[in-house]
Structure formats: structure tokens, C-alpha cells
Chains A and B, each alone.
Chain A
């Protein structure tokens, strides 16, 4: 009979010499991956973050930055030319409908931000609690939720978004909200899966059993003990999904679904209107909204992948268990690992 393992650490000396480390606030948590990363990782993270911030800045201050509004087609009573070349008045030219390309591109960032923020918020609000409940409660609740989420996940994502947008267009007025919900339907299964998986492993943690042993209700256990420890896997997928959501948004706009042309400027819609221009040598109508999509998606992907690289190796390292070597001559036989069914 041997001790299972001995933890080496500082010996027990009740009055600790130095005061326990203070946990920084949310800011130092955010700064942590940037401090931990180096080399190419850091470059990816920093570049992605800077470009993303630039887009967010553009989105928030669009009315101040853009020369005109997204649906302005005249200035001082003079109509803009249609498909006009870049000029002093319209630095990036005008579209086939006579709108200012620069203004529409900048306002497009605003639309993208609105939709992405809404979609991520909705997906989190639905996916995270469902994943927590499914993972913690288990049983038939879990089976049914997994079935539904797997079915959603198996659908081609754009098709799913199209169906959702199509069904919702007549019930909800705001195209932004319709699009955000359509995108939510696509991404909820991903949050659900990730949160459920980490809940399943966290559920087995001793401190969860300790919470049960002290008489906590399941709701309290999920809220006070599981949530904080499970939520850490979410920022990475949220960022990567945000990048993906911009593509889905553009896809829907390209197909003329969701956001109406008079409601907001949308890169995908503008691209679609610019298709025929390209053949005629009119490059500016497609280039700028296209660049908007590519840059925004790239920036967010860089952030997401960068975070993934920095955060996950440490996650993995923390989860590695020491292999237990049991020799039949001296040690006890290692008990068979059996999965438990907690009803």
C-alpha cells in the first residue's frame, strides 16, 4: 500500500509571510494573453486586435468619420453621379445607385458590429445556460438537447441562416435583429457543445461534490461553482464565431435577405450590387466593401487563433494528469476507471 501521490509544496506554516497575491481586475485578465504570448503569436494577437479596434472605432464614430450618410445620394441639392469615379467629393467613388462608396463602407462596419454583437450576445445567452444545464443535469434532458443541437449543427450553416432569416423577416421589423437571430441559430450549437463538454469535466471536480455536500441546490451549483470555471473556454470561440458571423452576414446580405437596403449599409449587399460593375472596369464599388469583409474577418480570426494558441496550451498543461504506475508486487491494483451515470 502506497500513498497515491505526494504533493510537494511549501510546508504548512500558518502565518504566511507575504500577503496573498491580489487578483487583478478584469483589465489584467484581458491583458494576460498579450503578456503571455511572444513571437509570431504576439504579432498575430496584436495586429488582429489593432485592426479590430480600428473597425470598432469606425463603426462607433461612423457619422463623424464618413463624409455622408449611407443613404445620401446628393450634396447641396446636386445628385452624385452613378458609378462615378473617385473624386474630391466622393473619394472612393459612387455606386450604381449613386451612393457614396466610402460612406457606405464605413457605415457597413457599424452594421457588422451591431449584428455581430447582438448575435454573440444571443448565442451566449442561449448556448451557455443550455450547455451548463445539459452537462450538469444529464439524463434525458441532456439527450434531447444534444439531439437538437447536433441536428442544427449538421445543417449547412448558410442554409440554416437563410431559412431562419426567411422565416423571421415578416415577424420582426428590424433587419439587424432578424439577421442577428439567424446567425444565432447557426452558432448556438457551438457554444452549447463547448460549454457542455467543459461542464461534463468540471462536474466531476471535487469542489462540485463539496458544494453538493454542503447542501447547495443544483441551480446554485451551476451559477456559483460551474459557471465561473466553465466560461473561460468561451472568449476564444466567441471571437472566432464573430469572424464567421461577418461572413454569414455578408452571405445573407448578398442574397438580399435580412437587412433591407434602406435600413443600413451592408457590405454583402453592396458586393452583390457591384457584381456587374467589375466587368465594366468599375473597380471601386466592389473593392472597398470587399476589403471591409476580408480585413474584419482576418482581424477577428487573428485574435481568436492567437487567443487559442496562448490560452489552450496552458489549459492543456493544467489538465495533464500524472500517469499512475501500479506494480502488482507492491502497489494496489489500480481500480478500473468506470464512468458514472449521474441521473
Chain B
């Protein structure tokens, strides 16, 4: 893809945060504040040049949709700044945002749910025009609707104008949703996984349509996807998201030719190879995405990172995961031998670099320490041990002192920018 003619920044995002309150306790429910929160977007910064296509790529739950919605003010950021051509959007009341919405539009993931089932396409597409008073008179509105339907490939337009969403196929619905998004002549379109719910056969056509529209009416896209391969095809730049953060951002070439972050590297290795002879073993990061309400300390990727080392943020919960993993894989005998030595594992759920592993009731903490040392010897490659500074038997268990980790910001590398301590300048 050719480099964009970057004139000026359309959008500037700085330290954007969207935290959702979980309202767990009765009191916080009653008062509407306090309680735990999900850090869906947790300090994201990037610029978006006019005419550029930025891909937001990440596993489900990494905060891509929330970031897209926050750009449009559909969800209120808890902190940070979003500027549209230098004008601050965060903190503005809904009333002040409404007129700006014609410049910022969204195409949603599920085309079957994003159109009002009770409206014909004519009514649905005319409504944004009426809201922003972009046309005068019904004839002009109708003409504009027809023109837009034609633009997205829904012709004969008179037939589609009178049809209801239930009359359309998935691809046609998404074309209609795109038509609704572009009819007000927006600058930015956030496309939230626009093809993930469509048939394979129509995905490429919809992406082609979006590229075509970009050239014809001059759009800037934020393309949200969990499919790195489609981002390669569609984007100028790519931001890899993990647990509400951008962990790597760079041009498509940088990200695909020379990925820096271990997470990006794993994602790229996991792209299915169409030629089965060349297919590498699929090497997805181990484990699951952690709970966004209680993210890991240090680098949030460290529990899954194959390259993690001492300062990546090892902590008590990792110890529990290692023990459970070992017992699951080691079989019943190992479990029966080792499990009784350890007390309540939930004691490890309190996140901290100073972990206390309780001994089983009536068990000698010394035996527990010996067991942990044995595990360490048996699995020297387990990166967790690099972060262990000391293990000491105490009265009722073993205390482990972990190396306090560092939460990496985006570091410059020789190509992209990556939030990984491997690139931390000395």
C-alpha cells in the first residue's frame, strides 16, 4: 500500500482512558461510585493523519470497540483527550457533540443488529440528513439517498430504497450500514470489525468497497479487527492492542516484516498460512487474556510472554498459575503428592510482588520450600523464576520476593514503537 499523503492530523488521541465501573458492592450500586473497574481502554495515544487507514488489532476483549466508541464520544472517556482537527471532544456535553457527529461515523460489527428493523433503507438513510439538515426538501433528500445507495453498490436503488433490513442479505445490510455512515460526508469512519460476521465470500467485496469509498470521497478509517491478515491488506498503519493498551504501533511493513513486541510476533505466527506446505506450527500465546478488571502487574502480557524476563512484573498470581498448570499437566500422582503441601491457593490472588504461599494444614513450610525449589530445578526455562529474588520458609508458609516489575511505555525501536522492556533504553 502506498504511503498516505499525510498533510495534517485529523485526530489526535492522548492518554485516553475508558474505565467501566463494575459496581459490585451494594453501597457502590446505591451511590453509583466506588467498586472495581474494568480498564477497557487504559492510556492510549496516537495520531491519525487525514486520508490514513489505521488498524486496531487485538484479541476479543482488548478494548478495540471501546476505543472506537470513545473516539466518537459514544462512550465517555474517564480521562485523556481526543482532538478532531485540534478541537477537544472529551468532556463536551452530548448536546455539543451532536452536531459534530456528522464528521465522525461508525460502521458496527453486526450488520443484522445495526439497522432499525422497522425502517426502510430510504427512511434510515434520510434520517441523518434530516438530523443535520444537510438537504432541503424531500426531493433532494431522496436524490441523495439514491446516490449513496448507488455508491455502496445497492442498485437498482429504487428497489433497495423501499426494502426493509429483513429483506437483505448480510453483505447488503453492511453495505446499507456503510451508506448510512457516509451519507453525511464524514471525515472519519470507525469500522468495527465490519466483515467479521459476514460470509467469507462477501468479506473481500466489502473491504474493496471501503477502499473504493476512501478514494472516491476521501475518508479516513480506523479499522478495528481481530484479523491481522485483513489489516495487512487494508491498513497503512497498525496498532496492536492488548488489555486496553497499544502494545505496538507502526506502519504495515514495520509490523509485518519486523514485529518487535512478543505479542505481535505471536499474532503474526498465528496467521493461517494458505499454503499447507509452508504452514508453521501455530504458536498462539499460552494462556488466556487476563481479567481486564485485575490486569497483571508490570507488563500486562508477562503471564503469556515467551520472552519475559526478571523485570516484567512477576507476582503472586503467576505463582498460583504455575502450580495449577503443573498439576494439570503432571497427572494425578503429582497432584496427590504436591497439593497437600500447599494451603489455600486463593491467598495468592492478592496481586503483589511479595507473595506468601501458605503451607497445607499441619504441613512443614520447609517441605513446601523444598517442593518449590524442586519445581524450579525441574523447569529452569519457566520465565517466572527469573523474577524470583528470594524464597524463604516462614512460620506458616513460604514467602517469595519477586523483582518489582516495570510497566513498559511505548519505546522507540529501530522500526515500530513497542511497549516491551526488551527495547527499554539503557
Chain A residues at the B interface, C-beta cutoff of 8 Å: 1, 3-16, 19-21, 23, 205-207, 209-217, 220, 224-225, 228-229, 328, 330, 332-336, 338-341
Report the minimal beta-carbon distance from B231 to chain A, rounded to whole angstroms.
12
Task: Among B112, B159, B196, point to the contact of A3 (Cβ < 8 A).
Answer: B196
Contact B200 A340 (CB under 8 A): no
B292 on the A face (CB < 8 A): yes
Contacts of A225 in B (CB 8 A): 116
Contact with A along B99-138 (1 / 0, CB 8 A): 1011011101110111111110000000110011000000
Main secondary structure of the interface of B (DSSP, over half): loop
- Contact partner, B169, options A12, A214, A332, Cβ 8 Å: A12
> Complex formed: what's the CA distance from A87 to B72 in Å?
80
User: What are 8 A-B interface contacts by the 8 Å CB criterion?
Assistant: A16-B159, A209-B74, A213-B101, A215-B98, A224-B116, A225-B116, A335-B292, A336-B292
Q: Do the beta carbons of A20 and B163 come within 8 Å of each other?
A: yes
Whether A4 lies near B202 (C-beta < 8 A) is no
Contact of B200 among A6, A333, A339 (CB under 8 A): A6
Q: Measured between alpha carbons, how far is A211 from B159 in the docked complex, in Å?
A: 24
Taking chain A's interface residues, is the majority helix, strand, or loop, or is none over half, making it mixed? loop
Chain B 282-307 per-residue mask, 1 if CB under 8 angstroms from chain A, else 0: 00100111011100000000000000
The reply to whether B131 and A216 contact each other, CB–CB distance below 8 Å, is: yes
The CA of A340 and the CA of B20, in the complex, are separated in Å by 7
Cβ 8 A contact of A207, one of B115, B160, B163: B115
A213-B287 CB under 8 A given contacts A14-B154, A336-B293: no
New A-B contacts (11) at CB < 8 Å, excluding given A21-B167, A335-B292, A336-B291: A1-B227, A1-B284, A4-B196, A12-B172, A14-B153, A20-B167, A212-B74, A215-B128, A332-B226, A334-B60, A335-B289
Q: Which of A7, A214, A216 has the most CB of B within 10 A?
A: A214
Residue of B nearest to A329 (CB): B284
Report the separation of the CA atoms of residues A118 and B293 in the bound assembly, to the nearest whole angstrom: 52
In contact, B101 and A215 (Cβ under 8 angstroms)? yes
In the complex the two chains form, is B197's CB within 8 Å of A4's CB? yes
* B155 and A14 within 8 A (CB): yes
B131 touches A214 (CB 8 A): yes
Query: When the two chains form their complex, are residues B199 and A206 in contact, meaning their CB atoms are under 8 A apart?
Result: no
Residues in A with CB closer than 8 Å to B119 are 224
Residues of B within 8 A of A (CB): 20-23, 32, 38, 59-61, 69, 72, 74, 98-99, 101-102, 104-106, 108-110, 112-119, 127-128, 131-132, 153-156, 159-160, 162-164, 167-172, 175, 177, 180, 184, 196-202, 205-206, 226-227, 267, 270, 284, 287-289, 291-293
Q: Is the CB of B106 within 8 A of A210?
A: yes
Task: Please report the C-alpha to C-alpha distance between residue A313 and residue B116 in the assembled complex, in whole angstroms.
Answer: 22
Q: How far apart sit A257 and B287, CA to CA, in the bound complex (Å)?
A: 71
Distance, CA A110 to CA B197, complexed state (A)? 55
Instruction: Chain A residues near B38: list those with CB within 8 A.
Output: 336, 338
Say whether B98 contacts A10, CB under 8 Å: no
Partner of A224, one of B127, B205, B292: B127
Point out the residue from A7, A19, A213, A229 that lies within 8 Å of B198, measured CB to CB: A7
Q: Tell me the minimal C-beta distance from B249 to chain A in angstroms.
A: 19
B132 touches A215 (CB 8 A): yes
Query: CA separation between A215 and B94, bound complex, in Å?
Result: 9
CB distance from B277 to the nearest CB of A (A): 22
Residues on the A chain within 8 Å of B289, using CB = 332-333, 335
B110 surroundings in chain A (CB, below 8 A) = 206
Q: B63 CB to closest chain A CB, in angstroms?
A: 10
Give the residues in chain B near A228, CB-CB below 8 Å.
116, 118
B167 touches A216 (CB 8 A): no
